[in-house]
Structure 1
């Protein structure tokens, strides 16, 4: 478990860690650039999360093939996923180039300085969308064949490049917020290039196979719908925060980036579980799959408790790293408690998500996630504005969303149906 989870942790944490540094660098430019990063970055993150089935769906399919002894077939899944990533990435790029202005104004709540800053950032950063999706596909097939060390090198190389360039381009070079976007694109270029080189060296043919692409799209459908509802919920929450004022939006951006960072850190166990469960079921070993589920629950819960305690202990040290604006700090202190106390629940939820994805039980995950968002997250976020609950209302909704998902996945894994979910492989 740990031999898979630790490299996955490094890969998962690299990009959000860079985004945290990016938020801190831009935050020192002022409240408007920070709000612009929240708006533009939120839209790009929405697109990436919406299409993350390129990683998670590919991992499940490749792991089943690898578990059955078909490594070439597992790598071939990566080839088709890469073609799909390029096609979808170009679509995302065109969408943001055409609609960057309307989308940022919609998310910011009205035309103004924040919306303009967000549009400026998004037009440049979206150039890296195809590269970002290619990297997702690369991570997917490599996880499936239990090759997690090379992705660490690839992702760290790109993230370190961005990490070095971001403060230099934003401040000494005088590019301001645009410098953040340029650094992002350059880092993604390096990472995607390394993944493509690794795939080429496997010696598997590069010809696109329409039948395989259609199968990947069908299997990704449930993950796509799940991600769409989830991301709409986060966009609605950001829109409500924006309408509450620039300080609320800035505090929400800081806390949300930390939430995403910690979610991906905890997701390291999910990646390990997904790979191990896929291999076990592909090899006809359901008892091993259930044992993996039991272990990953304990790891997720224990890590969540430690992370929550660390957040509470370090609040006064961490918050000033992101901003020195008193109004933003005041709002951030409100959401910090929510962020910390949800971590033990989130640790179990994210880990069991990986178990069910590895089993191919994505239809159930879709239903649980959508139901939890519709019943918990969205209503409280929408009511937070008119009822004057502010960020406390939004983050109460997020906590309820996590709690409802926890109940759903625990009930499913306690039964047997997930062990006989349809195989996520095809010809």
Structure 2
């Protein structure tokens, strides 16, 4: 289909203006463009409407944030009331206590909470808290896993076959030009689901490691389920050596009423949250064991870890988050689980009946399609070949042409307003893609 059908004229005009004020025409690198992004006019429920008047079923949800979809009425009503009272104060408000109490009462091992403004800040302060508690400086993290935009969390985020090193000893690779060598030296890189590697690499640096930073199901790493023996190995080595386990659930808290760690048997010392807990507004949170969280305690003098923030725990984010989370009850999660299973099963059937080199991963309300026959076990196995990457770009384009936003090479997510008919529509569009791109799929299979 011609480009004009993919991007409307008003979006093209907006992008031309944006290029005059932003370095590449956008304000964040994660914006999909083909080659021009479409500009959003509004969202309602599970749909987005662009400035050219077109409607799209939204499987992005602002990078999995909008678990209730767009303009969720309880959030809109709560925010309207709060805006009439004020948007931010230097003093605390009761709304922060209510949201913290909900999280502490729901998420295992979250005894105390500290609010910040983003998932990046949550991870940054979790790393700092682990250092303050242990007196150690190094961390370990997973190759290819995304944890926000702080230096240590970005190590080996975009490792490639050209620089990721030996499979038994992954190298610490820089994410951007000029990343300090000292940062690379402070990070031990692990492969997801590599049990032997966890035992060996964590043991080698045990006395210098403050924490293992672990996403229970890394989105950028492939949205792959953790092996129980991998989780057990992390817990065992960390526990024996006084290394804290940080579970990054900024994205994956949406996997269940109690989060992803509880789903997979991980028992973290610290847990980072964001996205869904803000009801669509900027937010982040660090929670964890009471003794570890005491590093933030300033009641008896300077804390081991000072943490502030002009907009941390602002009443708008607290109010929106509280409204959203109160409506994420067991019934809401059961609905998301059912729809997610329908989607993944339907996509899987479309793949198997056509014998094409694709597979689907994910859990609960998340899924990701991979250009390979077998489900990968880690980031390296999930890394696409050049031809496969082009196929996935075509997949996102085909979905957009048929009225669905499918994130390119990232986790897709469903929201509570979606229905079984929405799931069946997604499956039908995916099947249509397979039928119309058979030649391209055959070429990928032949190159294997």
Which structure: greater strand fraction?
2
Q: Structure with the greater relative contact order (CA < 8 A, sep ≥ 6): 1 or 2? A: 1
Larger radius of gyration: 2
* Superposed pair shares fold, TM > 0.5: no
- TM-score, scaled to structure 2: 0.30
